[in-house]
Every structure is written in structure tokens, then in C-alpha cells.
Structure 1
Amino acid sequence: MAMNERLHFWAPRMLSALRIVAGLVFLEHGMQKFLSFPLGQAAGSGFAFDNPGAYAGLVELAAGLLIALGLFTRPAAFLASGTMAVAYWIAHAPQNAFPVNNGGDAAILYCFAFLYLVFAGPGPWSLDASLQRRGEGA
């Protein structure tokens, strides 16, 4: 089997791996905001919705979990992508023109990774794919 054929075989699986890792790390941001876990630089605020970041945290929790599981992946990724675009332009861009200086580089990467998932789907290692296979077998 040629190198390109092997890479082509693994491409859908790596899409799933990208989705799982991005979803878990995104979920971790929401957990840190609301649950103070894992402990780190930012202290959690509990379930107080007194700032826009708290609403982003809610999306990070819910969409991050759904994306990691591969359940309702496309709508969850769409919501997450939009949330990160808004977060960038509201919280980061006003501070500095360069993402590496304004701390918005992660928001940009999340925005485009999740936008990609909207179009590419969850990949074969997902609950969405499992439910689809189960429905076709019925």
C-alpha cells in the first residue's frame, strides 16, 4: 500500500481525533470557568452569569462535551465557532492588532477548527456516526 493510500485511509480517523482533542480542551476551558477545575491561572467564578465570559463558558461546557463525544457535532461546532469569533472580536481584538499579543490566538484556532467540523462532520469515531450506522441497520 502506497503512502498516499495509507494516509487517505487514516484521514477520517484523524478527523475524529482532531474533534475529540479540540472538544476536550474546549470543555476544559468551561470547567475551569465554572468548576475551578483544573486549578490554574484563572479562578473559577462558579455559576455566576455576571459577565460575557460566563456565557462563553457555558458554550465551552456544553458544546465541548458534545463535540468531544461526537454528538450533534455540526450544530455544536457551529455554536462553538461563532462563540469564539465573538470572543475574539469583543475580548481580544480591542487589546492589540496581533493575535499573539492580544491572547486571541486560541480563539481564532478554535473558531476555524470548529468551523471545519461544521462542514467535515464528526468522523467515524463518534456517536453521530454510530447512531447513523444503527439507523441504517434497522
Structure 2
Amino acid sequence: MFNSISKYQPQLLSVLRIIAGLMFLCHGTAKVLGFPAVEGVPGPGLSIPGLSGPLELIFGALLVLGLFTRPVAFLAAGFCAVGYWLVHAGQGPFPILNGGETIALYCFVWLYFAAAGAGPWSVDAAMAKKGG
């Protein structure tokens, strides 16, 4: 069974990028636009959480589209790594206890996309097909 679904790996790479990008985008919209309204989420401002919202919004949108995926994913992975160490790591060594499991997972998901690319359902793939 698993050998037969492996032929869909390129498409599933795109699906993973789109879904992860949408979830990342939601963090940005909650912080920048107040939607969805999430209790305790800071709005935009000159603080680490305040500056993270616009980055999550921009990176999330670009990743959903699959536009400039490798460099954006690399920057997003670094952003998540810094965010984990600045915000969560000081609260204890275990991500499940310090509230950092989501940002840690995003860090490695984006690092994977920096290496793997966007997949076939992306603006990057469409531009490569058009140019080559």
C-alpha cells in the first residue's frame, strides 16, 4: 500500500507546504489583524512578539503561494529558532512544558522546505516551467 502512495510524494510536499503555511499565516493574522481573536496574543509593536506577527504574516503568505520558497523557508526556520530560544527555552528544557513545541516543529518544517523546495503546486514551479 505505501509503495503505491509514494508516487504522490511531490503533490503531498505541496499540500504540506500549503497547510503549514496557512497555519503559520494564522499566527500572523491573529497578531497583526486581531483575527482570529486569540486571548493573550500581543498585537503589533516594538517587541519580539509584536515584530513576529508581520513576519509570520509575510512568510506564511509567501509559503502558501510557494513563492521564493527556499529562501523564505530558510529565513522562517531561522526566525523560529531564534523565537524558540528567546521566548521558550528559558522557561525549561522541554518544549511540551515551555510552550515551544509548535515553534520548534515549524523551525524544522521550514528547514525541510528550504532543502526540498515548494513542490509542483507552487508559483516557484510555475515560474520554473515557464522559464525553462
Q: TM exceeds 0.5?
A: yes
Larger Rg: 1
Paired with 1:8 and 1:123, the residues of 2 have a C-alpha distance of 14
How far apart are 1:7 and its partner, in Å?
2.0
Overall identity of the aligned pairs, in %: 47
C-alpha distance 37-22 of structure 1, shift in aligned 2 (>3 A): same
Q: Deviations over 1:83-120 (max 9, x none)?
A: 00001001000011110000000011000000000000
Counterpart position of 1:78: 74
Counterpart position of 2:32: 34
Question: Residue 134 in 1 paired to residue 130 in 2?
Answer: yes
How far apart are 1:129 and its partner, in Å?
0.2
Gaps of 5+ in 2: none
Question: Which of residues 89, 106, 131 in structure 1 aligns to 2:85?
Answer: 89
Q: Is the 8 A contact 1:36 1:44 kept in 2?
A: no
Paired with 1:11 and 1:89, the residues of 2 have a C-alpha distance of 32
Counterpart position of 1:113: 109
C-alpha distance 3-93 of structure 1, shift in aligned 2 (>3 A): closer
Q: How many residues align?
A: 132
Larger mean CA deviation between 100-109 and 50-59 belongs to 50-59
Counterpart position of 2:14: 16
RMSD of Structure 2 on Structure 1 (CA): 1.3
Question: Residue 56 in 1 paired to residue 52 in 2?
Answer: yes
Q: Deviations over 1:29-82 (max 9, x none)?
A: 01101100011223452x42x201122222101110000100000111011100
Q: Is the 8 A contact 1:75 1:118 kept in 2?
A: yes
Q: Describe the SS at the equivalent of 2:93.
A: coil
Match of 1:24, as an amino acid?
Answer: L
Match of 1:27, as an amino acid?
Answer: L
Q: Is the 8 A contact 1:35 1:44 kept in 2?
A: no
Gaps of 5+ in 1: none
Normalised to the residue count of structure 1, the TM-score between the two structures is 0.90
Counterpart position of 1:68: 64
How far apart are 1:3 and its partner, in Å?
4.6
